[in-house]
A and B are shown apart, each in its own frame.
Chain A
Amino acid sequence: MEVPILKQGEVLIATFQAALSDADLNQLRMGLVQQVVKFRSRAVIVDVTAMDVMDSFASRTLREIAHMIRLRGAETVIVGIQPEVAFAMVQLGLTLEGVATALDLEEGLAYLTQKFKHTD
């Protein structure tokens, strides 16, 4: 199942569906990293609201996406992590350090708008 990548102004938005295979995740990573430069986006929002379980591969991929996007000159915000998932991730030591997070898509967009205003 391919993850659609939407373009909203200067931001790219990717929404995770419930069950993503490792191949899907790899594809998403490549897709995002390519498109962020193609569309000259300033930021990427990854919405994981639908994921009620997050394994170590998914979580590592999220961090890799964030770091690769950074190297490509944009910023990543992960939004919609479920409370149970958040605690499970922390217990596994997957804290997504250095990656911005927000409660949901709306918050993520608000965070980026605020940030863009500062840098403009």
Chain B
Amino acid sequence: MKKSLRISHHPLLGEMDKKVISFTYNGEKLQGLEGEPIAVALLASHIRVLRRHEESGSARGLYCGIGHCMECRVQVQGKGQVRACLTPLQEGMEIQEGSRLPNAITGRVDS
């Protein structure tokens, strides 16, 4: 098991003061801090793949971190598609990576 990427004690910024909560990603149970962006909670657990490109299937992750590039789209149960870099983590959230989709027009079926 890899050690968490959380900076437990920052020499200038100190500690994070947030509640630990549970959520799932692709069905896997994980823990994160309440209110931190989904992408941050996943990164802390070494999860960088947030999405498979809808057409090519290539892996995508967080890029700009400010909600502009739209690369970090994930599916949240009850909320639909959201930007993982801006959406705060909540207790019990069920998150799925954005998935590759078949293309009914070009006829590509693999997903």
Question: Do these two chains interact?
Answer: no
Interface, chain A (partner B; CB < 8 A): none
